Amino acid sequence: MKRVIDGLDQGDKVTLCYKKFTGNKIDGTKEVEVESFEETAKLFEALGYEYHAYQENKRESYELNGVQIEIDLWPKIPPYIGIEGKTELVVQEIVKLLGFKMEDTCALNTRFIYDK
């Protein structure tokens, strides 16, 4: 038996779908689909998860030379750029290409920054 949580953000609409595959028949997939934050919270509650925290941010994502560059906007934190590449050398090259120095960077996650 295979289970999948699948999400789709279309800008004006977010869909989350839980699928349970029980066999290779027409009725072999049981599916629960939700299209709102409230319905999603109810779905996770039904699956036995307990509420822990709420987070909201905005992100713009780009790709340059195979490297992910993301501009994150979180409440009460100045905007920051996240760079993810396959190797540290590739990340260093993108940092330089964007006009920054490695001394300008850090490897802190958002939760750590909020705790500070």
Q: Which of 53, 54, 107, 57 is nearest to 78 (CA)?
A: 57
Question: Where are the domains positioned within the chain?
Answer: 2-46, 58-115
- C-alpha 19/C-alpha 33 separation (Å) is 9
| Token pair in block for residue 39 | 């319905």
Tokens 């595959």 found at: 21
Question: What is the β-pairing status of strands 14-21 and 29-34?
Answer: antiparallel
Query: How would you write the pLDDT of the chain (116 residues) with one tens digit per residue?
Result: 566 666 666 677 777 777 777 766 656 677 777 777 788 888 788 788 888 777 777 888 899 999 999 998 988 889 999 898 888 899 999 999 999 999 998 877 777 788 87
